[in-house]
């Protein structure tokens, strides 16, 4: 399992395909704050709730200078289905190799229904305008998480 990021660390750059197969990179957002959130799978109840919460608050976050990128191990085709079915406005990118998930410490052992399994650790990393980690939140809950971030960021 990779190390978890800490505030002050340089956020690892990445370039991943979005739901339409276009490349999205963290470097392309330099000069803006970015909320990068990692979720286990598109089209599942918890991940849908979280993505809808981000979509519902996207205008508020964008107005405060934040871009939002959701990362999962899904392929672009599944992300497109997810986006279209739920009318999502957040940028969704796929990391089937799980390389970026691992760089961010968002893949590894976790508890699921009392059992230890290996998988995506629901995490949110807030990156500042200079590409540094401002906040690193791991094992977050799908429900209520977006409201908590907004409150913590003072948006």
Cβ atoms of residues 81 and 74 within 8 Å: no
**Can you tell me the distance from the alpha carbon of 147 to that of 70, in angstroms, rounded to the nearest whole number?**
16
- Nearby residues of 115 by Cβ (< 8 Å), 6 or more positions away: none
Options 19, 26, 34, 47, the catalytic residue: 47
- Our separate counts of H helices and E strands in the chain read 5, 9
**Torsion sign (Cα): 57, 150, 53, 44:** positive
Active site residue 52: no
What are the residue numbers of the active site? 47
């Amino acid at each position: 399992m990779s190390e978890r990021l800490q505030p002050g660390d340089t956020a690892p750059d990445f370039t991943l395909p979005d739901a339409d197969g276009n490349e999205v990179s963290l470097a392309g957002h330099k000069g803006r704050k970015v909320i990068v959130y990692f979720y286990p799978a598109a089209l599942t109840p918890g991940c849908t709730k979280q993505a809808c919460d981000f979509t519902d608050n996207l205008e508020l976050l964008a107005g405060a200078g934040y871009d939002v990128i959701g990362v999962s191990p899904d392929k672009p085709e599944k992300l497109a289905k997810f986006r279209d079915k739920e009318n999502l406005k957040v940028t969704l990118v796929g990391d089937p190799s799980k390389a970026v998930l691992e760089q961010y410490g968002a893949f590894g052992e976790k508890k699921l229904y009392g059992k230890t399994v290996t998988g995506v650790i629901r995490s949110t990393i807030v990156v500042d305008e200079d590409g540094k980690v401002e906040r690193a939140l791991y094992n977050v809950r799908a429900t209520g998480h977006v409201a908590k971030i907004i409150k913590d960021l003072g948006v």
